[in-house]
Chain A
Amino acid sequence: MKVKIGAFLGGALFGVGLAVAGMTQPAKIVGFFDFFGSWDPSLAFVMGGAIIVYTPVYRWAIRTWQRPVWAPAFSLPTRSDIDGRLVLGSAIFGVGWGLGGYCPGPAFTSVGARSEEALTFGLAMLIGVGGYQLFMRMREKRSGGAVDAQAAAMIDG
């Protein structure tokens, strides 16, 4: 129960953080990437600020904590090679982010705010996410369980 409540509170804090930071306003996202128009650098401080808070906590935790409070072990990415799937997938994501002005977190929380644009975007995004995952599961089954789990799993975040 506390795990579920904790996850809920984490999502809620994350969601309010996105709104306060301006990440839920597509015009701000587009403005950040509009290097040849009226560039708005403010989102660099959002990402930078989050990294500055996260990095020391992460380093401290992996060095001194045996395990997280509510789980038997940390579930952290282990791969370090850069492959085509990673770069191509991210490139495709960037096109959608620049086109729609939403990345996944802001899209979810803006659906909660009853934004029609976010609802359209969010439904298409869920179809993309679910479609990809179902396709990978089918491929795993067809290859007789020869697991391409690492390819399908979210190994980075």
Chain B
Amino acid sequence: MIGTAAAGLLLFHGRIAGISGIAGGIFRREAGDISWRVMFLVGLFAAGAGWSLFYPEDYVVEISRSTPALIVAGLTVGIGTQLGSGCTSGHGVCGIGRLSKRSTAATISFMITAALTVFVVNEMLGGSV
């Protein structure tokens, strides 16, 4: 389904289905380039609202994270994806699917630091931050 949605966005809109890129573009405020981005994000939001009515277990948070930790995580994801121009979908799925060298390098980079972060949190801090 993720691959199909990404393929659909390419065939119909001619766009890469990178969520961080779609979100970042809204702030760039280029004429005629905003509404499809907003509607895609509204679709994502609506999917969560609708799907969670029937399958709330798909959205459970079973890790222990304090509010400050979530804020730091959100900020680093926000800034990092803009600086690195892509996230899991844009680099990890579409970029690797396009055999892009840049996206492959980016994916290796964020996979390594994600694994290191999980190692520090789980093995050195007891799994709770």
Contacts and interface: CB of A to CB of B under 8 A. Distances in A.
A and B: real partners?
yes
Interface of A: 3-22, 24-27, 30, 33-37, 46-47, 49-55, 57-58, 61, 65, 67-71, 73-77, 79-82, 85-105, 107-115, 117-118, 120-134, 137, 152-157
Interface string B39-56: 111111111111110011
Interface of B: 1-21, 23-25, 27-28, 35-37, 39-52, 55-56, 58-63, 65, 67, 69-103, 105-107, 109-119, 121-123, 129
Contact of A19 (B24, B51, B106, B129): B51
A14 B48 CA distance: 10
A128 B14 CA distance: 27
A132 B78 contact: yes
Contacts of B78: 96, 124-132
A137 to B, nearest CB: 7
Given A46-B2, A86-B106, A94-B109, A25 B90 contact: no
A125 B45 contact: no
B2 A124 contact: no
Given A125-B78, A157-B95, A105 B87 contact: yes
**Highest count of chain A CB atoms <10 Å: which of B39, B47, B95, B110:** B47
Nearest to B33: A75
A74 B14 contact: yes
Contacts of B93: 47, 50-51, 54
Contacts of B69: 99-100
Contacts of B59: 19, 24-25, 110, 113, 115, 118
Contacts of B28: 133, 137, 152-153
A154 B109 CA distance: 17
A90 B80 contact: yes
A120 B16 CA distance: 27
Nearest to A85: B83
B118 to A, nearest CB: 4
Contact of B117 (A15, A68, A95, A122): A95
